[in-house]
Amino acid sequence: LINRISGILVVIVILFFSIFDIQAQKLSDEKLKYYNQIADEIISSSLNERKGYELLRELCEIGPRLSGSENSLKAISWAENKMKDAGFDSVWLQPVMVPHWERGDVEKAVIIESKYFTGKELNIAALGGSIATPPNGITAEVIEIRSFEELKEQSENVKGKIVFFSQPFDQSFVNTFSGYSNAVKKRSEGAIEASKHGAVGVIVRSITTKFDNQPHVGGMRYSDTIPKIPSVAAGYLDSDFLSEAIKKEPGLKINLKLNCQTFPDAQSYNVIADLKGTEKPDEIVIVSGHLDSWDLGCGAHDDGGGCIQAFEVLDLLKRLDIKTKRTIRCIFYINEENGVRGGIEYAKYAENSSEIHLAAIESDRGVFTPRGFTVDADSSIIEKMQPWLPVLNKAQINHIIKGYGGVDIYYLRDNVKAKIGYEPDAQRYFDLHHSANDVFEEVHPREMQLGTAAITLLTLLLSEEGL
Ligand SMILES: [Zn+2]
């Protein structure tokens, strides 16, 4: 009995301390009232004025912004001017060299010498970084392969052929990013793996949740020790077609022509602006996105929208005259898509700077309806953020959970306490991702602006409450 009583006592003591602990972390009624009032102001200004949405329209009018392109430099100077016009503090360009690859104007995959399908052209686009074909293209049999395991099993049959990686995006995941990361290796590593077995080219079924015929591109890699082979993405419908055609006519041949080209690295820049903190100006909260995009569409969701949200966090604070204790820094990183040079360059700066980087937020999963934030940090830090949820709920943020921060902020590593990813609803993101579908018209102003308000609220809480 004594054992039982002491056991119960231990439980009571633990319960007492855990309740006490939670209460100690809670925002005081006074603070909660203050934040709730400010949240209403931020949300209504963001939804009513749609300033970011209109800025995104302007940015998208410049066109696609692939690293190293003339357009990317236009967008950089546009962004710099907008930050200066907005009256932000210390607007500056951080120089960084970036890869420079151009798609060219020849992209053709045509079925030839076929009993049934001669002349059928597939809707394809070169993957970013691919080498060109010779001017007359490469002509080879196509072999359909679903997985890297199957590639190994079929090694004997792959030599001299074009490998068609046909496995579709797995739609069974609720989180579309899981479906994506499951499939993306065929795109990024497919050329290396296929070339190991003697393939002469790669066609990858577009990694998309949409059953249309737009090629969805993205970065791909080569190895210095394995022969480089041209690599393209095919539209989903034409991938279905190709799969059926090969079944009907094994040994089907394709002529593939590309004239894309890699140039020497080009000069580029991250675009950076601050809103100086009033009490701790040397402590920094970053809000960010990446300014570069793929060259199809105009990167409205990926990641023009994310950049503009970061911009408007500063703008909302400024236009509502909300002073923050810590400095809020907006960063438009360059070159997330095919090198992350901008993120790496800023991380170097952060490592050598006397400033303290408290937290970094990145918005790079589309600008859809807010859902939550995912945090790459110690559990104790994520725990500290939980009492902020009642305020963030106002902008439909339902959770702050452990997870990935973002590609550009990843390299800040231990130089920042928390790397935080903005998590909007992602059901439609991969309909658009890295394709001609990613245009301004696909952005919904209320969804984007509510997300902006959510990120602004988190930024404010980080600045005022610390971690
Ligand atoms: Zn992105």
Residue 253, SS3 per DSSP: strand
Strand order in the sheet with 89-102: 89-102, 261-275, 326-333, 280-290, 356-362, 416-424, 370-376, 399-402
SS3 call for 115: coil
The pair of three-digit structure tokens given for residue 337, joined into one six-digit string: 């898509």
The phi-psi region of residue 78 (left if phi > 0; otherwise alpha if psi is between -120 and 50; otherwise beta) is: alpha
What sections of 197-304 are H helices per DSSP?
236-248
Which one of the listed residues 107, 283, 336, 337 is annotated catalytic?
336
Query: What distance in angstroms lies between residue 302's CA and the mean position of ligand 1's atoms?
Result: 4
Please give the distance, rounded to the nearest whole angstrom, from the Cα atom of residue 407 to the centre of ligand 1.
8
- Taking only the tens of pLDDT, the chain with its 467 residues reads 556 655 555 555 555 445 444 444 789 999 999 999 999 999 999 999 999 999 999 999 999 999 999 999 999 999 999 999 999 999 999 999 999 999 999 999 999 999 999 999 999 999 999 999 999 999 999 999 999 999 999 999 999 999 999 999 999 999 999 999 989 999 999 999 999 999 999 999 999 999 999 999 999 999 999 999 999 999 999 999 999 999 999 999 999 999 999 999 999 999 999 999 999 999 999 999 999 999 999 999 999 999 999 999 999 999 999 999 999 999 999 999 999 999 999 999 999 999 999 999 999 999 999 999 999 999 999 999 999 999 999 999 999 999 999 999 999 999 999 999 999 999 999 999 999 999 999 999 999 999 999 999 999 999 999 99
Query: Which sign does the torsion angle of CA 205, 210, 211, 215 carry?
Result: negative
| CA torsion angle 208 154 229 101 (round to 10) | 20
**Cα of 110 from ligand 1 centre, angstroms:** 31
Among this protein's residues, is 58 annotated catalytic? no
pTM score, two decimals? 0.94
Q: Does residue 315 have a cis peptide bond before it, meaning omega lies within 30 degrees of 0?
A: no
Helix axis angle for 445-465 and 51-62, nearest 10°, is: 110
Enumerate the β-bridge partners of residue 232.
126, 203
For ligand 1, the distance from its centroid to the CA atom of residue 321, given in whole angstroms, is: 31
Nearest to 55 by CA among 307, 363, 416: 307
In angstroms, what is the span from residue 215 Cα to ligand 1's centroid? 17
- CA of residue 431 to ligand 1 center, whole Å: 14
| Nearest residue to 283 (alpha-carbon basis) of 31, 104, 467 | 467
Whole-angstrom CA distances from 152 to 44, 147, 155, 199 are 57, 9, 5, 12
Tokens (6 digits) for 175: 């989180």
Q: Give the distance (Å) from ligand 1 centre to CA of residue 363.
A: 8
Q: How far apart are CA 65 and CA 142, in angstroms?
A: 33
| Residue 2: per-residue pLDDT | 55
The residue with tokens 């500290």 is 384
Contact assessment for residue 233 and residue 216, using Cβ atoms and an 8 Å cutoff: yes
Residue whose C-alpha is closest to residue 80's, from 59, 66, 96:
59
- Residue 408 CA to ligand 1 centre (angstroms): 9
pLDDT for res 12: 55
> Which is it for strands 370-376 and 399-402: parallel, antiparallel or unpaired?
parallel
Structure tokens at 374: 């995912």
